[in-house]
Structure 1
Amino acid sequence: MMADPEYEVRRHVVQGEHSISDQPGVMLTTILGSCVAACIRDPKAGVGGMNHFLLPGEGREGGGDIRFGVYAMEVLINALLRAGARRERLEAKLFGGGRLVRGLSDIGEANASFARDFLEKEGIAFLGGSLGGDCARRVQFWPVSGVARQSLLQREQEHVFIKEAGSPAPKQHAGELELF
């Protein structure tokens, strides 16, 4: 396991939000269940960002609703382009899309499928990530370097998911996966 990348500022991204940065000391973080977060960056421009959406597609009104994937993806991509990114250089990692409650529709899978399809249709390189499963997860993303780390939250830790706490994550080794 690699050492923690250095960071000076932690920004927590909650449902319906996005955040971008071109500062090496910034780490973006979120906590996901069935929601999906896209971590997208332009490695040459040195800018990246994260969104967090609740539902796939664009909604009944045809877009503009922060809960839906189309709006969340478009807002993040447009913010990156305004900050100097180029569409043809964008690369993405996707996280979330879990199924935390059995017996209900699998909104997590619908979110994950939407996100993968969106990247393909937009021609954005999909580098991987972690989608599906039955656990909530904490995701940390350093937008300049592109390093992403996920920690799975065990059932007894899911109160953190419900709270979406912004406090620093404890050091965890079980269920931790670092993607680079």
Structure 2
Amino acid sequence: MSFMTPAGNRSSLLPEKRINVTQGTTRVTSDSAVVLTTVLGSCVAACLFDGIAGVGGMNHFLLSEPREGDLSFGAQSERYGAYAMELLINEMLKAGAVRRRMKAYLYGGANMHAGMHKIGSANARFAIGFLARDGIPLTYSNLGGNAARRVDFRAVKGQARCRVLTDQPPDESKTTPTLAASLGDVELF
């Protein structure tokens, strides 16, 4: 697979190194051949990048925050949004990113089962609020709905692709991504 820019130009012919970002994990890279990939339902993935430093990363969190009375510690912590977001930002800073240059994309947050608690909506609200409080511009989002998504992110270049996964033929009215406030350009591949 080659990465495409919105104009349709090939952006790289380097061999890819695909790294799967599973539930409750965070990955950061400065390798331009790395593609971070994940599959999301109600979970949310935040993709952050600093194009000048050439550093980017992705997390994948399951729940916005622990339920009342639940303890979160150790490896369990990464499944919660607050820990996953802080970890992603801190790992980006360690790798040379500068907070004021970071840009964010958010994906996921689907409400997969009708009639159940809207975990996806809670996750999406949390991620949007966290970025706003931390002063990191949300330049693109594809959140909500009721279908799973596959996200591929060439983190160093800030290039992303999100595909909605369904057993039904694509319905463009439901798969068109939502754009965040005009705070920057999104380069899709």
> TM-score band, normalised by the shorter chain?
0.7 to 0.9
Residue of 37, 45, 50 corresponding to 1:37? 45
User: Which of 130, 140, 148 is equivalent to 2:152?
Assistant: 140
Residue equivalent to 1:97: 109
- The alpha carbon displacement at 1:62 in A equals 6.3
RMSD: 2.2
- CA apart distance, 1:126: 0.6
Match of 2:71 in 1: 61
Contact map agreement 1:90 1:124 (CA 8 A) in 2: yes
TM-score, structure 1 length as denominator?
0.83
Instruction: State how far apart, in whole Å, the 1-side matches of 2:78 and 2:129 are.
Output: 19
- 5+ residue gaps, structure 1, are 158-171
Q: Which residue of 1 aligns with 2:3?
A: none
Whole-Å separation in 2 of the counterparts to 1:114 and 1:19:
20
- In the alignment, which residue of structure 2 is the partner of 1:165? none
Change (3 A) 1:24 1:154: same
Aligned residues: 164
Whether the aligned pair in 2 keeps the contact of 1:35 and 1:96 (CA below 8 Å) is yes
Q: Which has the larger radius of gyration?
A: 2
Structure 2: runs of 5 or more not aligned: 1-5, 178-185
**Residue 133 of structure 2 corresponds to residue 121 of structure 1:** yes
* Contact 1:58 1:71 (8 Å CA) reproduced: no
Equivalent residue, structure 2, for 1:26: 34
For 1:155, what is the secondary structure of its paired residue?
coil
- SS in structure 1 at match of 2:49: strand
Partner of 2:183: none
The residue identity in structure 1 corresponding to 2:33 is: G
Spell out, residue by residue over 1:38-96, the C-alpha distance to the aligned partner (whole angstroms, 9 max, x if none): 00011111100000000003564366511100010111111000000111111100000
* SS of match in other structure, 2:113: coil
